[in-house]
Structure formats: structure tokens, C-alpha cells
DNA sequence: CCCCGACATCGATAATTGTCAATACGACGG
DNA sequence: CCGTCGTATTGACAATTATCGATGTCGGGG
């Protein structure tokens, strides 16, 4: 892995995206394109210090512990979450760089055709 | 369908997201979570008037015409693209509301250092 | 030392998806 | 009216994925 470097992508609008860029960002979107994972990220991001214990996360969902663990693994593998073991518990934290890489994608660069 | 109404979602960070919101936005992300579709949207968005003819789109990709047609259908079904037939050709156009719905997701709400 | 609680991994299964070749369909041009 | 071009649909297939039950692993408490 070690791809801590995210595509500092040009926005979706504005200029057309390169194949490489698309292939870099798509996995991030794919990781987020699930209701459970979306809520996981949201829950973690809105927790104290931007991190949350798996034990708390588990209780917030209907799915089994194995399923939640799987989703967290996917988000971690995509580089969206950091993982830290503290004693018996495991804490996941959002990686702002990853989120902002995606945010850049959807930021409108400049009003199209506004230049007269 | 007819869900021209997009979740005017709270950002991912800030407050934790409701199950309903997650289930509303996830399909949008899912539709975008593919390199080909990402490039399609980008290509269309950066075209004249925010729309593009399928005939041009086809030539910009290695995949077969059927595959491109399929991806366009997915994007259209998700509400991300509008479809208009003009004569023999079909034009797809981006739906800014859809994109901005997703953009809202990734917009950071809290300016900075609210509480120290 | 043994058990228990927190989390991850494994194995299995059903569902979804990306892709293509083949075919259908609708609009022109001759 | 027939052939052709642009696009969509169908059918098939391999690959991926979401989910679960069962089991493994690791750390702490008694």
C-alpha cells in the first residue's frame, strides 16, 4: 500500500478527467458507496476527536460484528480510516486528506462560461 | 423514479448521518464509483453546454458501445445525467443538483477551531 | 493458568456488477 | 421501402461484494 498520496484531483467539472485520475479516485468513492460505510464514516467523523471505538460502532448498527469489522476494513484499505489499537479496544479515525481528496472532485472550480 | 429530489444532506462530518440519508446518497456515490462512469461524467460536464453526444463519448473509451450505453444508463438512473434525443443522436447532460447534493456531503461545515 | 471479552479472519452463499457479442429499434437517405 | 447508422436492450459470464455463523487471536482479570 503506502499510497498515502491521494489524487489531488481536478474537479469533476471544468476539465475532463484523465484515466489515471479516475482510477485513483474511483476506489475511494466505491468504499463510500454503501449506506453502512457512509454512516460509519459519518459516525466516526462526528465523534470526539474524529475517532470512535469499534465497540461503540457495533452497537449503532443492525449488522453483525463481523460485517461491521469487514466494512471498517474496506474503509481502512481505501485509506479513508486510520486504525489504532489501544489496550483491548480498537479505534478508527477519519483521514481528512482522503475526504478532502474526494471533496476536491465535487468542488465547482469556476462558473462555467462565466468568463465574458 | 421521479425522485428529482435529492437528499439535501448534512455533510459527512459535523453531525452523524441518518440511515435514511445514507440510503439516499449511497446510490449516487455508487453510480460514480467507477472509473469509466467518472470519466463519462467529467467528459460530459466539461463539454460545451454541459452536454455531450453519445457518438463522441463512445470514441473516448476503449469499451464497446454496449458498455458505454450501459454506464450512461446507470448514471441516468441515478439521476446524475439527463437524456435527450435530438434527431438521430442522443445527448446526455449533467444534472447540477445531483452533483451538488454529493458535494454537500463532502463540504466541511465547521469552519475551524470552534471549540478549543 | 485459564477464561472471557474485543476484534479479526475464514468459509460459504446469494446478490450485484462490468463487460461483451448479438440483436432489436428508430430515424434517415436514397 | 430497404439498407444503414446511432443507440438501447438482451443474454451470458466472470468477478466482486455484502452478509452471516463459526472460529481464531490477543489482552486482561480472577
Query: Structural domain boundaries of chain B?
Result: 19-106
Question: How far does the CA of residue B66 sit from the closest CA of chain A (Å)?
Answer: 19
- The verdict on a CB contact (< 8 Å) between B108 and A103 is yes
Question: Which secondary structure element, helix H or strand E, spans residue B86, and what is its range?
Answer: strand B81-86
| B81-86 vs B89-94, strand pairing mode | antiparallel
C-beta of residue A14 within 8 angstroms of C-beta of residue B46 = yes
C-beta of residue B9 within 8 angstroms of C-beta of residue B25 = yes
Angle at A20 between CA A31 and CA A101, to 5 degrees: 50
A84 contact to strand D (CB, 7 A limit): no
> In the 61-100 stretch of chain A, whose C-beta falls under 7 Å of nucleic acid strand C?
65-66, 69-70, 72-73, 83, 88-90
- The verdict on a CB contact (< 8 Å) between B12 and A45 is yes
In this complex, which of B32, B43, B108 lies closest to A16 when CB atoms are compared?
B43
Q: CB neighbours (10 Å) of residue A63?
A: 12
B109 and chain A: CB distance < 8 Å anywhere? no
Statement: residue A3 has pLDDT above 50: no
Q: Which residues of A touch B16 (CB under 8 A)?
A: 39, 42-43, 46
Show which positions of strand C are touched by protein (CB under 7 A): 5-11, 17-22, 26-28
Strands ordered across the beta sheet of A81-86 = A51-53, A89-94, A81-86
For A84, phi then psi, to 5°, come to -140, 130
Q: Over pLDDT 90: what percentage of chain B? A: 67
Show which positions of strand D are touched by protein (CB under 7 A): 5-11, 17-22, 26-28
Q: What is the pLDDT of chain A when averaged over all its residues?
A: 86
Statement: residue A1 has pLDDT above 50: no
C-beta of residue B6 within 8 angstroms of C-beta of residue B21 = no
Residues 6+ apart with CB under 8 A from B50: A13, A112, B44, B93, B94, B96
- Find the nucleotide nearest A71 (Cα to C1′): D18
- CATH number for the B19-106 domain, one of 1.10.10.10, 3.40.50.2300, 3.40.50.970, 1.10.730.10? 1.10.10.10
* Distance measured from the CA of protein residue B52 to the C1' of nucleotide C28, in angstroms: 21
A8-33 tens-digit pLDDT = 556 777 677 889 899 999 999 999 99
- Tell me the C-alpha distance between A31 and B104, whole Å: 18
Ranking A80-89, B62-71, B107-116 by mean pLDDT, the lowest is B107-116
3-class SS of residue B114: coil
Amino acid at each position: 500500500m503506502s499510497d498515502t498520496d491521494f489524487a489531488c484531483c481536478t474537479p469533476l467539472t471544468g476539465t475532463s478527467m484523465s484515466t489515471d485520475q479516475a482510477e485513483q479516485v474511483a476506489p475511494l468513492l466505491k468504499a463510500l458507496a454503501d449506506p453502512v460505510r457512509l454512516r460509519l464514516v459519518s459516525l466516526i467523523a462526528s465523534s470526539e476527536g474524529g475517532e470512535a471505538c469499534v465497540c461503540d460502532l457495533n452497537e449503532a448498527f443492525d449488522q453483525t460484528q463481523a460485517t461491521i469489522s469487514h466494512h471498517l476494513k474496506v474503509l481502512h484499505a481505501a485509506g479513508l480510516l486510520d486504525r489504532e489499537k489501544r489496550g483491548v479496544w480498537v479505534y478508527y479515525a477519519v483521514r481528512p486528506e482522503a475526504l478532502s481528496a474526494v471533496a476536491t472532485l465535487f468542488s465547482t472550480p469556476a462558473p462555467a462560461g462565466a468568463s465574458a
